[in-house]
Structure 1
Amino acid sequence: MVDLTKIPENLPIPQDDGAVKHLVGTSLPSLSLPATNEELIDIGSFKDFLVIYCYPMTGQPDVPLPEGWDQIPGARGCTPQSCSFRDHYQELKALKAEVLGLSVQTTDYQKEMAERLHLPFLVVSDVDFKFQKALKLPTFLAGGMTLLKRVTIIAKDGKIVAVHYPIFPSDSDPAWVIDYLENHYQK
């Protein structure tokens, strides 16, 4: 059985392909997406800081990952990334940042993961690729599915101020966000 909470050694490291260079300075789209609390969340309506970590897909216990998953640079590590945001959530809240996870998986799939991992923040579903298309986020194919590449967006009052891409290892992402907020916005 694969331990989804651990990042295997010797994973291929994703390279910056320039696919998100256009994002800084862009406004978040005013889109309502279904969330794990069974409500629609308007992504563009958040005030202060919003951290959106976009990830390909979380695995489920006893369900095999797509064929070749560990050989796709940046694919593996969604569960450790989510757990790391969970573990740093209070630090992020203290920096006036709200966190949202986002993938193209269904809300029901995400609810199982959020409950199993005890996530204190919402996860939203972009199952129709509205957010992905609005921001032209990069994707890849695996197991017959189109999935988001891992990218983290920091927005202030609806405008994107920073983007973390590529992210490796995935569980280092919250530390990057905290460092960015502390060094750019704390007085």
Structure 2
Amino acid sequence: MTLPVPEDDGAADHLRGLAAPHVTLPSTSGGSVTLDALGPGRTVLYVYPLTAGPDGVVPDGWDDIPGARGCTPEACDFRDHHEDLLAAGAAGVYGVSAQDTDYQREAVDRLHLPFAMLSDSGLGLAGALRLPTFEAGGMTLFKRITLVISDGVIEHVFYPVFPPGEHAREVLAWFRSASRG
């Protein structure tokens, strides 16, 4: 299957250098995470549209939306390279979507993810940072984007992200390059 490649529409150009917003998101590991209180070091927030459930059902027309398909392969790539990212200097890795925590918890368990997912079902992060979104199946969903927050500031932005199933390796290469620089 050939998927449409997302294009850089400039929707993330304003993010680099912004302070992490005071947004608190519920976590699949219990409790919540406040983004402006992540602590020292670099934290990866990979933001994605939605993870299909075990039945694989996605909104109609999903494969025609540039960048929509690939959330499970992206999560699995971050799973497979989680330890490498930590070794390269990441203080933490989180996935973020507009899905509720219970839905995300099922994906964390099914995919054996070693990191927590954060729910932004109210789109507070989207609003605070003016993150790019799109509509599908009657839902407002995030366009795929990854933020590296370093000591409370957005240091690096990956946007658009494609192909999603190789993205963790792209982030890892950036970490290794940034640690040498």
Per the TM superposition, whether the score is higher than 0.5 is yes
Structure 2 contact 47–95 (Cα < 8 Å) conserved: yes
Question: Is 1:62 the equivalent of 2:55?
Answer: yes
Give the Cα separation in 1 of the matches to 2:123 and 2:163.
25
| TM superposition shift of 1:64 | 2.0
Equivalence for 2:66: 73
**Could you say which residue in structure 2 is the equivalent of 1:23?**
15
- Structural mapping, 1:132-171, within 5 Å: 132-171=126-165
Runs of 4+ in 1 over 4 A off after TM superposition: none
**RMSD, matched Cα:** 1.0
After TM superposition, give the deviation of residue 186 of structure 1 in Å: 3.4
Q: Is the partner of 2:154 in helix, strand or coil?
A: strand
2:103 and 2:79 map into 1 onto residues whose CA distance is 18
Contact 2:89 2:175 in 1 (8 A): no
Which runs of 5 or more structure 1 residues have no equivalent in the other structure? Answer: 1-8
Structure 1 length-normalised TM: 0.93
Aligned mates of 2:150, 2:57 — CA distance in 1: 38
* Count of residue pairs brought into register by the alignment: 179
Separation (CA, whole Å) in 2 of partners of 1:90 and 1:186:
19
What runs of 5+ residues in structure 2 fail to find an aligned partner?
A: none
| 1:45 equivalent among 12, 25, 37 | 37
**Percent same amino acid among aligned pairs?**
46
- Match of residue 101 from structure 2: 107
TM-score by length of 2: 0.96
Greater Cα offset, 125-134 or 177-186:
177-186
